Amino acid sequence: MKILVVGSGGREHALVWKLAQSPRVKLLYAAPGNAGIAEQAECVPVGATDVPALALFAEKERIDLTVVGPEVPLTLGLVDELHRRGLRAFGASRAAAQIEGSKAFAKALMVKYGIPTAAFREFSEPDAALAYVRERRVPIVVKADGLAAGKGALVCRTLADAVAAVRLIMEQRAFGEAGDRVVVEECLEGEEASFLAFTDGKTVLPLASAQDHKPIYDNDEGPNTGGMGAYSPAPVVSAALHRQIMDRVMVPTVRAMAAEGRPYRGVLYAGVMIKDGEAKVLEFNARFGDPEAQPLLLRMDNDLVPVLEAVLDGRLHEVTLQWKEDAAVCVAMASGGYPGTYQKGKVIHGLEEAAKVDGVVIFHAGTARRGAHLVTDGGRVLGVTGRGRDVREAIARTYEAVRRITWEGAHFRSDIGAKALRYPR
C-alpha cells in the first residue's frame, strides 16, 4: 500500500520509521518531510498546512492511507477533506481537533462532563484578564487559547509575571491569533506525565506511559518549548493511576466528544499533573506527542498499519498492543536560542558515529541538505532516541550518542529521564 505522512518533525520521522517496517507498506511519501525522512520516504514539496494541495496529491497518487502528524492540519480540516474525496486518513476531524485547537473549549468540556482539571477563567479582552490576574494568588498559569507550538502556556510565579504574560499574549500578539483569548487557571503542582491512547470513537486503547520535559533548561527551568525530551515507561504512572486516568479522563472524554457531536477518532493525548495519587488534566492534544512518539514507537512491538486501520474501521476492540519490556529515552537537540530566535544552516557533525551506539535511532526534526552537508533547519533539530534494559541504561546510551553530535550553538537538556531514577526498580 501507499502511505503519506504529513509533517516534517521528529514525530513524523518516527512514524515513517515505524511504518517502513510494515510488510504492508510498498511506498512511503512525506509532505514536506526533512533530510532524515528523505532516507526512508519520498519527500513531497507540499507544506503540512496546504490542505488543498495535500488532498490533491493524495487523490492523484491514489494514496491508500494518509497519516497526519501535526496539530495544525488537523484543525484546518485535512482529514475531513480527504474523507470527502473518498480517501482514508488517520487523525482527528476538524471538529474533534478543537480539543487541542481551543483550550477554552477543552476546559469547558471538562467542566461540563466532570473530567478533573484546574479551575479556570477565559477572557477575550486584555483589560478583563489583567484585572482578574491582579486579584489572584500566584502562581497561576496564563495560556494562549489557540495553537502555539507547545509554547503558549506561561507559568507565572509573581504578579508581575502574570501581567507580563497577559500583555505578551493579548497585546504584543506573541502567538498571533492564538492569543485572541487567554485561559487563566490555577497552577497545578506535582509531576507531569503524558497519557496517549488510540480511539475509534468507542474503544479507548492506551499506549505505554511516557513523560515529556517541556522547559528548555535542566530542572524544568526556563520557558516552555515543544518538548526537550521524553521517556517511556514513566514510573509515576502506577497501575492504580493508569486505571484512574482511563476511568476518569480518557474514556469520559471520548464519550463526551461523541455526546457533543464531535466523535473522536485518532490519537488522544492527555497531559496530566499527578499529585498525592490523583491526576488532573493540564491539556489535551489531538495527535501523537512530539517527542513522546519517538520512545513510544521505538518500544511498540505491533505493526502500526493494522492498528491505524482498526481505528478507521471501528475495530479497535480487536487490537491488543504489545510493548518491548525495555525502556526508551529521547533527547531533543535544539538550535541555540530556541524557543526564541535562532539561526539555521549550521553544519551538523558526528551523526554517523552517534548512530553506531547500540540501541540508538536518530530521528530528524529541523534538518535539511545543503550540498554535501546536513544542516540545521529548525528549532528542535534532532531527537536522539535510545533503548536499554531500563531507563538508566537507555539514558546512558542516548547521551553517549548525543555527545558525539555537534554543531555551532547546539543545546540540549542533560537531565532527561532523571525523574524516573527516583523510583524503585
pLDDT in tens, 173-209: 999 999 999 999 999 999 999 999 999 999 999 999 9
Q: What percent of the chain has pLDDT over 90?
A: 98
Q: What percent of the chain has pLDDT over 70?
A: 100
3-state DSSP call for residue 198?
Answer: strand
pLDDT tens-digit map of 313-329: 999 999 999 999 999 99
Check residue 319 and give its pLDDT.
98
- CB atoms under 10 Å from CB of 282, counted, come to 21
> In whole angstroms, what is the distance from residue 275 CA to residue 290 CA?
24
- The amino acid at 206: P
pLDDT tens-digit map of 239-280: 999 999 999 999 999 999 999 999 999 999 999 999 999 999
In order of 182, 269, 285, 331, 373, the CA distances from 207 in angstroms are: 31, 10, 14, 20, 37
Count of alpha carbons within 13 angstroms of residue 223, beta-carbon side:
14
Q: Are 53 and 332 in contact (CB under 8 A)?
A: no
At residue 424, does pLDDT exceed 90? no
Check residue 149 and give its pLDDT.
84
pLDDT tens-digit map of 65-83: 999 999 999 999 999 999 9
Please give the domain boundaries of the chain with CATH numbers for all domains.
Answer: 2-93 (3.40.50.20), 125-180 (3.30.1490.20), 191-318 (3.30.470.20), 327-422 (3.90.600.10)
Instruction: State the average pLDDT over residues 101-111.
Output: 96
At residue 295, does pLDDT exceed 90? yes
pLDDT tens-digit map of 119-162: 999 999 999 999 999 999 999 999 999 999 888 999 999 999 99
Angle at 382 between CA 379 and CA 384, to 5 degrees: 145
Confidence of residue 425 (pLDDT cuts 50, 70, 90): confident
Q: Are 146 and 180 in contact (CB under 8 A)?
A: yes
- What pTM was computed for the model? 0.96
Sheet hosting strand 2-7, strand order edge to edge: 42-43, 27-32, 2-7, 65-68, 89-90
* Cell 520521522 sits on residue: 13
Q: Where would I find the beta strands (DSSP E) of 119-190?
A: 120-123, 140-144, 153-156, 182-186
- The amino acid at 43: C
Residue 286 makes CB contacts below 8 A (sequence gap 6+) with 71, 74, 75, 91, 92, 96, 97, 99, 100, 101, 266, 267, 268, 269
- Please state which of the ranges 223-227, 248-252, 345-349, 380-384 shows the lowest mean pLDDT: 223-227
Instruction: State the average pLDDT over residues 357-371.
Output: 97
Angle at 39 between CA 34 and CA 40, to 5 degrees: 100
Q: What is the mean pLDDT of the chain?
A: 97
- The amino acid at 199: T
The closest alpha carbon to 272, from 218, 206, 319, 316, belongs to: 206
Check residue 169 and give its pLDDT.
96
Buried-state track 185-198, b at ≥16 Cβ within 10 A, e below 16: beebeebbbbbbbb
